[in-house]
Amino acid sequence: MGKKMSMMMVEQDWLGLARKAIAGESITREEALSVIRADDDEVLAIMDAAFRVRKHFYGKKVKLNLIINAKSGLCPEDCGYCSQSRVADTPVTKYPLLEKGVLVDGARKAMEMQVGTYCIVASGRGPTNRELNQVIEAVEEIKSTMPMKICACLGILSEEQAKRLKEAGVDRYNHNLNTSADHYSHITSTHTYEDRIETVETAKYAGMSPCSGVIIGMGESDEQLVDVAFALRDIDADSIPVNFLNAIPGTPLEKLSNLDPRRCLKALALFRFVCPTKEIRASGGREINLRSMQVLALYAANSVFVGDYLTTEGQEASADHAMIEDIGFEIERCAL
């Protein structure tokens, strides 16, 4: 009887977090830490509680996103997780920014895959004027011919560049915080955490929806993971990509492999509880880190990428469509 009562009390704790989140009450740091540190036996109870929050705000709809790697390699930054970084010894194909027609064709492909948000991503510290003009021309054509949300991820922006992207029709701008402020210097040295915050604020000021997320598994502590979750809440990111480190050979973080599916699921639940009304996206690395438990991610996340990532392969879009159908959820066909 005592053990049964103890299990009921633990389950009630997770449901209590769900009730707080639905009521608009912020969970505490201690409660957030309890999620990521929970025993693996609690994973299903935690996901059940996270699903109650997700269902309250988003029902059973799943937003689909597609990335086009608009410019590959050629990056002067030294981000330890990235195969396109100047310090990475990887066989990444290098090419300048794709022409307008290729970017537009990518959007058409996204439409065929039932994608609502098309993400134009370019390597580098920030766009040149020529690159910005190419992206703007493509965005203007896409927005005039397709009912699609456009997200751009071009690096650090000036206020004028952000304004031009917004005027062209870019709906959302992505610039991930990636990790906590006090862990950031362990990941890169060519820009700062504060640079990241400033770029998110610049995009917001221009009127674009801020998209900013995290990469889990880069050697951060539980406390640092909680720190970045609350930081993303504080900057009011509308969309939060939760990436799971794909430790690519030839990158400085190639030897890190400390994730398992249960921790990944608890992390998704953590972000749902901390940022209950926001789009939580199961993002890069989900296939190799969640593996056979990918479908459970949708109980906390309401958004996924389909197709390939920047330099790594994802699973077939048809497999994602089937996963969504099998769980009884539905694709949100228009993200506007």
Pairing of strands 214-216, 172-174: unpaired
Q: Answer whether 310's CB lies under 8 Å from 69's CB.
A: yes
- Give the 3-state secondary structure of the chain: CHHHHHHHHHHHHHHHHHHHHHCCCCCCHHHHHHHHCCCHHHHHHHHHHHHHHHHHHHCCEEEEEEEEEEEECCCCCCCCCCCCCCCCCCCCCCECCCCHHHHHHHHHHHHHCCCCEEEEEECCCCCCHHHHHHHHHHHHHHHHHCCCEEEEECCCCCHHHHHHHHHHCCCEEECCCECCCCCHHHCCCCCCHHHHHHHHHHHHHHCCEEECCEEECCCCCHHHHHHHHHHHHHCCCCEEEEEECCCCCCCCCCCCCCCCHHHHHHHHHHHHHHCCCCEEEECCCHHHHHHHHHHHHHHCCCEEECCCCCCCCCCCHHHHHHHHHHCCCEEECCCC
Pairing of strands 61-71, 330-332: parallel
Neighbours of 134 (CB within 10 A): 22
Known binder of ligand: residue 151? yes
Known binder of ligand: residue 82? yes
Known binder of ligand: residue 264? no
Known binder of ligand: residue 119? yes
Known binder of ligand: residue 79? yes
Known binder of ligand: residue 54? no
Known binder of ligand: residue 334? no
206 φ, ψ to 5°? -75, -10
Known binding-site residue numbers for [4Fe-4S] cluster: 75, 79, 82
Known binding-site residue numbers for [2Fe-2S] cluster: 119, 151, 211, 281
Known binding-site residue numbers: 75, 79, 82, 119, 151, 211, 281
